[in-house]
Amino acid sequence: MIEHLPVLQIIVPMIAAPLCVLLRRRLLVLGFAILACWITFGLSVALLDQVLTNGVVRYEMGGWAAPWGIEYRVDLLSAFVLLLVSGIGAIVLTFAPRSLSDEVPVSRHYLFCSVYLLCLTGLLGIAITGDLFNVFVFLEISALSSYALIAMGGRRQALPAAFQYLVMGTIGATFILIGIGLMYMMTGTLNMEDMATRLAAVDGVRTGLVAFGFFTVGVALKMALFPLHVWLPNAYTYAPSVVTAFLAATATKVSVYILLRFVFGVFGVEFAFERLGLTTILLPLSLAGIVVASTVAIYQRNIKRMLAYSSVAQIGYMVLGISFATATGLTAGIVHLFNHALIKGGLFMAMGCVMLRLKSVDIDDMAGIGRKMPFTMAAWAVGGLGLIGVPVTAGFISKWYLIRGALELNWWPVAVLVLLSSLLALVYVWRVIETAFFKEPSERAQTATEAPLSMLIPTWVLIGASIFFGLMTSRSAGIAQQAAEALLRGSP
């Protein structure tokens, strides 16, 4: 059993997905899917535990030995991302039933669960596999199912949003496919670990540069790095609340994981940063993304859209940390990947509660809602403070590492810009807090009541976690730091 953990991690949600379609009865399916998600989460906890005690866990698919067969390879970073994705997946689906019945026709719930589980499978698969082509396949599984999930949004704008995402996503994935192909051409292997060692032999071949370029651009598209983010705001705004919460907390994060794995694991720090100067591309883009997206967020009236732009900015923080290519910077990137997933997931779930009661996420309709839905909006406020990076929240931890990373390199202006950008976050977050708590209730808010417990509890679990990891950092930043050091050592 124990030795099959890595494959079970993928198999459980993958088998559960078609079973959902067979079961069909709404309650049965929901219960089953939620159970499957929690089992998956349990598996990832066990897997992380195993990695922490025994080091890297390897699993050869179908018994085919490593460079030829597909190998699942779970190191600390993988296990960390697996835990994050499966945890968020389980919590969000637990939150889902009530919110879904409001936003998605009841007759489609079993399909929703099925697609949701497929998407989860894809995201988990990306994190667990050690095979480059397998990454592409899982990437497409998660992407195709997320297009379907987004298209389930109640308003018709969800459809063009999903289509736009599909076009951009496919271009990104195809770029990645080209990159993989060229890499294979050079090294004759698809196993990432093997590829890293063989790359040394073909050092300096131009094909490598081209592959690197295609791959990086493709991943940047997938993770919505400014200015390749245009698909994200619409997709997040019009998708059902549950889907937004899930995707915002996981999809872009997994793409960041791919970037980390590829740049550090396959190509190595020396090639990517010292020879190619990846910093000179990532640093300005991430800084521009932080500033521009935060500023755009300030002017949004639809709060889901505002949070979506904030996500683009937060991706900027992660990439910024990565672009430092130092232990502290990488730690900042990885820990922010984790912290931001908690914070943004919680925020979008709170927006789901608001949507349920108000049938709107417009800031004008949210006036005075803090008095009617105190627990929901308190969760929102705590999450918002996390976005700003106020101490005692997880956001502060990320920011601390980021600033430290910049100062260690003596990159003054970067540290200052990061701090100034927090003030932009302050503006857009505070606008909502002020409207919700200190203004007279709007017409819609008058009749609103507190969200049901089935939604409040999962929301607070994530928000509570964001406070917990703002104080107890050994399990978040501690692991992130170990993972960062492993990446810098060059082991894929």
For residue 478, the minimal CB distance to other proteins (Å) is 8
CA distance 435 to 300: 14
The secondary structure element, H or E, covering residue 137 is: helix 132-151
- Nearest residue (CB) to other proteins, 70 versus 285: 70
For residue 254, the minimal CB distance to other proteins (Å) is 17
- Nearest residue (CB) to other proteins, 99 versus 187: 187
For residue 391, the minimal CB distance to other proteins (Å) is 4
The secondary structure element, H or E, covering residue 103 is: helix 76-103
Strand locations in 242-395 (E):
none
- Nearest residue (CB) to other proteins, 276 versus 418: 418
Q: Is the preceding peptide bond at 227 cis, omega within 30 degrees of 0?
A: yes
Residue 327 · residue 347 · CB < 8 Å: no
For residue 1, the minimal CB distance to other proteins (Å) is 30
Rg of the Cα atoms in the chain: 21
For residue 99, the minimal CB distance to other proteins (Å) is 22
Q: Which stretches of the chain bind other proteins, using CB under 8 A? A: 133, 136-137, 140, 144, 147-148, 151, 156-157, 159-160, 162-163, 166-167, 170-171, 173-174, 177-178, 181, 184-185, 385, 388-392, 397, 399-400, 403-404, 407-408, 415-416, 419-420, 422-423, 426, 430, 434, 438, 471-474, 477-478, 481
For residue 140, the minimal CB distance to other proteins (Å) is 5
80 SS3 class: helix
Apex CA 87: angle with CA 83 and CA 92, to 5°? 155
Largest CA distance in the chain: 69
Handedness of CA 298, 301, 307, 309 (dihedral sign): negative
CB atoms within 10 A of CB 457: 14
CA 317 from centre of chain:
13
* Paired strand residues for 266: none
- Nearest residue (CB) to other proteins, 276 versus 390: 390
- Nearest residue (CB) to other proteins, 21 versus 392: 392
Q: How far apart are the first and last CA of the chain?
A: 26
For residue 429, the minimal CB distance to other proteins (Å) is 11
Q: Tell the residue number behind the tokens 């919505």, with chain if given.
A: 224
Handedness of CA 143, 144, 145, 151 (dihedral sign): positive
- Nearest residue (CB) to other proteins, 211 versus 272: 211
- Nearest residue (CB) to other proteins, 144 versus 361: 144
One-letter amino acid of 239: A
- What the block records as the tokens of 226 is 């400014």
For residue 91, the minimal CB distance to other proteins (Å) is 25
- Nearest residue (CB) to other proteins, 91 versus 183: 183
CA distance 66 to 71: 6
- Nearest residue (CB) to other proteins, 98 versus 475: 475
CA distance 236 to 251: 11
For residue 165, the minimal CB distance to other proteins (Å) is 10
